[in-house]
Structure 1
């Protein structure tokens, strides 16, 4: 049975909302990634697609998505590993995410 990791996600949300560099679009993307991670049972590495992230974060244009997604990587929130194979999804790992048990 999976341990409830809700307190860790709440602490992570407190951490990201305290960062003044982040805009509503960064936070929307992070929330979309968190939702997918939660659905995938809080794995350290989660599988994503651009279309799902754009849909979940309500970002409508590809340039906007790429701008804020790139900044999340530069700010050290996520590590993105693209997959150039059509049968495999790209992966995201959370950086500086502290698990508290």
Structure 2
């Protein structure tokens, strides 16, 4: 993912009044991982990495706002229960 595309995603998210600072922090963390992985849609993630990048320090906060992002249709979370495989997030809404 190119830097200009990253900024377009963030600009797109800013327009949704349902999203608050926690949603945006999580989305920026996900987009940051996408940028680092050079991915456009499916990003390999771990909860600990997203929490660290987004500065979300409590599991209840993480779970609440992460679930809302799914409910709002921004992401699709594909969990991996295998210890050697990371979970995946699909970015559903694009700018």
Q: Give the TM-score, by structure 1 length.
A: 0.88
The RMSD of aligned alpha carbons is 1.3
> What does 1:1-101 correspond to in 2, within 5 Å?
5-98=2-95
Whether the aligned pair in 1 keeps the contact of 2:3 and 2:35 (CA below 8 Å) is no
Gaps of 5+ in 1: none
Whether the aligned pair in 2 keeps the contact of 1:79 and 1:93 (CA below 8 Å) is yes
> What is the CA–CA distance in structure 2 between the aligned matches of 1:75 and 1:41, rounded to whole Å?
25
Q: Which has the larger radius of gyration?
A: 1
Deviations 1:58-86 (A, max 9, x none): 01100100000000000011111000111
Gaps of 5+ in 2: none
Larger helix percent: 2
Q: Give the TM-score, by structure 2 length.
A: 0.93
